[in-house]
Structures are given as C-alpha cells and as structure tokens.
C-alpha cells in the first residue's frame, strides 16, 4: 500500500491550468470531485502518463518516481488501470478478446478471468462483439479489462456518467467487490456527489485546476469549514450498521452510534455497515424531544458549530458521539430557539431523504 | 506464347512483387508517421510522396537515369557495393518503381491510420501495451483491409508502369523488359496477334484487381488518384 505524491502543472489548450500539489492516502478510494472543467480528467491523464505535464512536475507512487525532471515512466510501465468515460473497447475483439488483451499483458499475478466475470456479471457477454453491448455492459467490460491488467492503481474517469440507475448499480457492485478482494487503491473522478458518497473514503475537491479541499469523506462532508457544506445539495455522509429488518412496515433499522435510524428496507445482513447520506436541508432541530410526530428519526445531538450562510439561513453542525451531520435552518428559527454551540438538541430527519439518497451500498 | 513474352511476364511479376514488399516495409512507418502529425513539415513530405501522381513518369525516369549513370555518386557507390552497373538493371527498375508507386501505398495506409482514434491506443497503453505492441495488436488488425488495398494498388500500378522503366531500364529481355515494354516492342514490330494477347491480358488483370478491391467494401479513397 502506497501513497501518491503529486506535484503537477499542466496547461490545457484554452488557457486552463491544472496546478496541484498534494498527497493522496494509500490503499483507499479517493474521489476527485469538482464541476466539469475543474481539471479532474486532466489530473487522471497526467497520472496515467497520457498527457504531458510542465517541467518541474513530479509524480511519486509508493516510493517509485513516475515523473520528474530526470525520469519519465511511460504509461505502459506504470501499471495503472484506466476506466474511461467512453469504455474504449477494442472494436476488432469480442468481449473475451478485450479481457484477454489485458490479462496477457498483466504484470502482477494474473487475476482469474472467472473471478472478474463474476464480480461484473460478464459470463453471458464473453462471446459478444463489442458493438452489440449496451452502454452499461460496455462499461462493465471496460472495468473488467482494467482489473485484469493487474494494476497497482485504478483510475476511473466518470465511468458511470452515461449510465442509467440499474446499470450504474451493477458497475458499482462490481467495483466494490473488486476493491474488497484486491485492496486496490482507486482514484475516482466524478461530478456526482451521490456516486462519490457511495464509493469514496477520501475526497479531493478540485476547483478551476486547484485543490480546494482534501480529507476523509465522512469527516469533510460533516464539517462547516469547507466548500462541500455550502453547496445547495450539501449532505453529511455517515456510517451506520444494520440492526434489524422490519418486514411488516418495509423498513430497516440502522444503528448510528447507539441511536436508531429507520430507512426503507435495505438488502444486507444484520451487522453490515451501510453509508447514509443526510442532506442538510432535510434536518430540522427542536429543543424538546418531539412527541407524536410523523417523523420516525429523531436523534439526540449536540450543536457544535453554527454559521450564517446568508441573511436568511444558518448552517448547523450537529454531533452525535463521533460522527456529525449538517442542518440548514432559517436564521429566524435559530434566534427564536436561542441556539448556542454546546446545546443539546433533537434532530429530526425526514426518512424520505435518507431513502432516496442512501441506496443499498456499504 | 513464346519465351520472350513468358520472360517478360515473369519479370513483371518479380518486379511488382519486390516493389510491393519494399513499399509495405518503407511505406508503413512513413504513413504512420504522417498520420500522427500535422504541420508544414508533414505537408511538405506529403507533397513529395504524392508527386508521382501528377508528374509524367518520364520526368522521374529522366532524373533517376541521370542519378544512376556510371560516374555519378549513386552510380559509383552501387558499382562499388555490388560490382555491377545500376542503370539499365533490374535493381534500377525496383528503385524507380518504389518511388513511382509510393503514393499508391502510403496514401491509403495514411488515411486508414488517421481513422484509428488515439483514444484506443491510450487505452491499450494503460493495459501495458508498448507502442509497437499497440501497432501490432490494435492498428494492424483494424487496418487489415487497407493494407490489402495498398498492396494491390502498389502491385497493379507497378505492373502498369511504362515511362519510368523505359527511361531507366531500357529494353533488355530477362533483365528490364517488362510487359508494358514488351507490348510496345511487339506493336513496333507489327506483331499484332501477340500485342492483342498482352494488351488483353493486362486489361483483364487490371479490371479483376480493381473489381476485387471495390468488392472488398471499404471506403474508396485509396482509388481516388
């Protein structure tokens, strides 16, 4: 397991400049998040050696120098797997041919074709020509191909951007299985915070070619001092454990630091970890524990920070024991409730919000 | 058919085959290089490659003849290396034909290579394929038919050449007397029956080649010239 040290400068054709100096943690999935045009793809291409960076740029991967003023390791020796947004399957080869192209050139111990096919449900596609695949199938083959090349690092450039919900989930499923089995570090480019929240451990926010924020995802999304908290769709991501399935009402009870949280029924065993997204706009606070309310999820929290985000609105940081969430309320309510940091409050979370955003992912 | 005609046929086939092989070996890297670049250097080289398309073959033949003559640098070098004279030899014909048919091989290949998206090569590189491996395992299979077209055009065009051969090869049976020259010879000496056989044979051969090429159902840019 190795960290990635990056010091990159790269100019685009339209005067755009990527200027990044950062270290990414070892053995984890890092999301590179930002609006389109923020330099996410450029960063990946530089990492893979597909794009030349300015002199003075350096890339170190696990102590190996890939790029410096003295050496340049070419793409084909870097052992990176790259999943492009447009699958880029080789048109003259069928699915099996594409997969074999990768495994024949694998430098690490070759992964069994069978295993990869199982992760990504490719068995039925093996003999198909690539032009007879749907977008989702193509992308699964592309992911399989990248895995079979035995990479030390997997780069994914918005691999799910063109896919619909079901195809997306199948790809995510495959990626998770691979990650669990291989402990493969991944850099995952996305402009979709939902995708990011499902996969990443770590997040790097790029804005106009510069690193805006960087840190562990769960921590960063539940803090006020960064740009993520101030987005319209700001949402804290928390990790909870499945405690109980209630078949009668079609709900699942999650345990979030000794408190319980009800969501639409999820697949998974008791004890499985799940990530939930708690959108700031769907959290409200009360001084007293509300009785007789239709809202199922009421958590006791401590108000740890508050910030005025506009004339009308406030953003609160509510902490359980270790994990936190955000709440967006009006300034008027904050004044009327006389909120102060340190107050013990009751946070009400609309279940519907959790349902739509949580999905059934770990 | 009598012996001189058979000799001429054999010689023509040998010349066209040798020329085609050399052209594929030289033309492939040249076409690849040209297909991956733009700019005025590239344009200049493309112009030189295309020159035989518009230049009268006799012009090319004339300059080659002067260059190959004994006493010139090229002629002398050849003499020292091989101990034989270059002008009026089979080797001179091969060199002339390679230059003369160059665009017929390079242009279709270049066009075909241009249509290979570099995205695919990037993908291959991330899977561990070296540039040569990328060419062998991605570019070649995707342009196989263009290679067939390039080779056929190179071969057929060499079979059909006359002016260059006449200038630098002369008319030596078994050495430089190719079909088109032999045909000229038979007409000159009023042997029309033989001339008919030769001319008819060339028409059939050319038609057949073109028919097979068109039927191979790829874009026909290679035949534009």
Residue A63 has pLDDT above 60, yes or no: yes
Residue A82 host element (H or E) = strand A80-83
Question: Cβ contacts (< 8 Å) between A106 and chain B: which residues?
Answer: 128
Digit-coded pLDDT (tens) for B106-127: 999 999 999 999 999 999 999 9
Chain A: nearest CA to B217, how far in angstroms?
17
- A356 band by pLDDT with thresholds 50, 70 and 90: very low
Is some CB atom of chain B closer than 8 A to the CB atom of A101?
yes
Residue B3 has pLDDT above 90, yes or no: no
Instruction: Calculate what percentage of chain A has a pLDDT beyond 90.
Output: 38
Digit-coded pLDDT (tens) for A225-271: 888 888 888 888 888 889 999 999 888 899 988 898 888 888 788 88
- A344 band by pLDDT with thresholds 50, 70 and 90: very high
C-alpha atoms less than 13 angstroms from C-alpha of A151 in its C-beta half-sphere: 30
Digit-coded pLDDT (tens) for A142-161: 999 999 999 989 999 999 88
What's the mean per-residue pLDDT of chain B? 88
Per-residue tokens: A72: 């340049």
From the CB of residue A348, how many other CB atoms can be counted at a distance below 10 Å?
20
Q: What is the pTM of this model?
A: 0.82
Digit-coded pLDDT (tens) for B72-103: 888 888 888 888 888 888 999 999 999 999 99
Determine the Cα–Cα distance for residues B166 and A165; give it in Å rounded to an integer: 71
User: What residues does A10 pair with on adjacent strands?
Assistant: A18
Cβ of B127 and A105 within 8 Å?
yes
Identity of the residue in B130, B141, B142 whose CB atom sits nearest the CB atom of A76: B130
Is some CB atom of chain A closer than 8 A to the CB atom of B126?
yes
Residue A2 has pLDDT above 90, yes or no: no
Determine the Cα–Cα distance for residues A253 and A119; give it in Å rounded to an integer: 28
Residue A299 has pLDDT above 60, yes or no: yes
Residue to mutate among A41, A87, A102, with most B CBs inside 10 A, is A102
Is some CB atom of chain B closer than 8 A to the CB atom of A107?
yes
Residue to mutate among B120, B126, B141, with most A CBs inside 10 A, is B126
- Tell me which residue of A16, A13, A31, A8 sits closest to A205, measured CA to CA: A31
- A362 band by pLDDT with thresholds 50, 70 and 90: very low
Q: What is the interface pTM, i.e. ipTM, of the complex?
A: 0.82
Cβ of A76 and B138 within 8 Å?
no
Angle between the N-to-C axes of helices A95-104 and A135-148, in degrees from 0 to 180, rounded to the nearest 10? 20
Give the pLDDT score at A137: 93
Give the pLDDT score at A108: 65
Strand spans (E) along chain A: 4-11, 17-24, 29-33, 58-61, 64-67, 80-83, 153-157, 186-190, 202-207, 210-216, 235-246, 251-256, 259-264, 273-279, 283-286, 297-308, 313-319, 324-330, 344-349
Residue A112 host element (H or E) = none
Q: Is A329 left (phi over 0), alpha (psi -120 to 50) or beta?
A: beta
Residue to mutate among B119, B127, B130, B143, with most A CBs inside 10 A, is B127
What's the mean per-residue pLDDT of chain A? 87
Give the pLDDT score at A225: 84
Give the pLDDT score at A352: 52
Identity of the residue in B120, B125, B137 whose CB atom sits nearest the CB atom of A76: B125
Q: Pick B154 or B218 by higher pLDDT.
A: B154
Q: Using alpha carbons only, how large is chain A's radius of gyration in Å?
A: 22
Question: Taking a C-beta distance cutoff of 8 angstroms, is the pair A111, A103 a contact?
Answer: yes
- A357 band by pLDDT with thresholds 50, 70 and 90: very low
Identity of the residue in B119, B128, B141 whose CB atom sits nearest the CB atom of A92: B141
- B2 band by pLDDT with thresholds 50, 70 and 90: low
Give the pLDDT score at B121: 95
pLDDT (mean) for A286-292: 87
Q: Which of these ranges, A198-212, A341-355, B122-136, has the smallest mean pLDDT?
A: A341-355
Cβ of A80 and B126 within 8 Å?
yes
Burial of A321 (0-12, 13-18, 19+ CB in 10 A): exposed
């Amino acid at each position: 397991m190795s960290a990635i040290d990056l010091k990159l400068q790269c100019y685009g054709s339209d005067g755009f400049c990527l200027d990044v100096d950062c270290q990414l943690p070892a053995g984890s999935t890092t999301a590179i998040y930002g609006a389109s045009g923020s330099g996410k793809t450029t960063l990946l291409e530089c990492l893979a050696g597909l794009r030349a960076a300015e002199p003075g740029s350096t890339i170190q991967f696990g102590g190996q120098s890939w790029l410096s003023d003295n050496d340049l390791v070419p793409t084909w020796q870097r052992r990176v797997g790259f999943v492009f947004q447009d699958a880029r399957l080789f048109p003259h080869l069928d699915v099996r041919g594409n997969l074999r192209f990768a495994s024949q050139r694998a430098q690490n111990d070759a992964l069994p074709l069978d295993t990869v096919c199982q992760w990504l449900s490719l068995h039925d596609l093996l003999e198909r020509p690539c032009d007879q695949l749907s977008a989702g199938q193509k992308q699964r083959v592309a992911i399989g191909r990248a895995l079979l090349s035995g990479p030390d690092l997997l780069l994914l450039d918005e691999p799910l951007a063109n896919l619909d919900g079901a195809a997306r989930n199948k790809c995510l499923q495959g990626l998770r299985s691979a990650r669990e089995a291989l402990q493969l570090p991944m850099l995952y480019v996305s402009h979709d915070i939902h995708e990011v929240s499902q996969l990443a451990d770590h997040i790097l926010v790029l804005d106009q070619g510069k690193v805006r924020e960087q840190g562990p995802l769960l921590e960063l999304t539940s803090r006020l001092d960064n740009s993520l908290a101030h987005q319209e769709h700001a949402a804290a991501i928390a990790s909870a454990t499945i405690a109980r399935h209630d078949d009668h009402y079609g709900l699942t009870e999650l345990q979030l630091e000794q408190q319980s949280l009800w969501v639409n029924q999820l697949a998974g065993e008791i004890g499985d970890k799940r990530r939930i997204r708690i959108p700031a706009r769907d959290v409200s606070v009360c001084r007293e524990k509300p009785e007789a309310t239709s809202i199922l999820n009421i958590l006791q929290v401590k108000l740890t920070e508050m910030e005025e985000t506009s004339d009308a609105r406030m953003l609160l940081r509510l902490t359980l024991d270790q994990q936190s969430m955000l709440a967006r309320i009006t300034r008027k309510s904050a004044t009327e409730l006389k909120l102060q940091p340190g107050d013990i409050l009751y946070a009400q979370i609309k279940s519907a919000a959790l349902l739509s955003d949580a999905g059934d992912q770990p | 058919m009598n012996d001189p005609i058979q000799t001429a046929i054999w010689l023509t086939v040998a010349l066209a085959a040798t020329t085609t092989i050399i052209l594929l070996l030289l033309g492939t890297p040249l076409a690849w290089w040209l297909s991956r670049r733009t700019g005025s250097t590239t344009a200049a080289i493309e112009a030189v490659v295309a020159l035989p398309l518009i230049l009268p073959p006799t012009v090319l033949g004339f300059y080659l003849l002067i260059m190959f003559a004994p006493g010139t640098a090229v002629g002398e070098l050849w003499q020292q290396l091989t101990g034989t004279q270059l002008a009026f030899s089979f080797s001179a014909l091969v060199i002339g034909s390679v230059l003369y048919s160059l665009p017929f091989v390079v242009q279709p290949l270049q066009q075909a290579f241009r249509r290979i998206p570099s995205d695919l090569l990037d993908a291959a590189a991330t899977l561990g394929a070296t540039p040569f491996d990328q060419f062998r395992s991605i570019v070649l299979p995707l342009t196989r038919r263009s290679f067939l077209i390039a080779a056929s055009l190179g071969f057929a065009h060499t079979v059909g050449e006359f002016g260059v051969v006449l200038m630098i090869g002369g008319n030596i049976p078994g050495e430089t007397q190719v079909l088109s020259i032999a045909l000229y010879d038979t007409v000159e000496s009023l042997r029309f029956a033989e001339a008919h056989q030769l001319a008819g044979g060339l028409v059939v051969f050319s038609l057949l080649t073109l028919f097979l090429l068109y039927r191979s159902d790829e874009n026909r840019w290679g035949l534009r010239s």
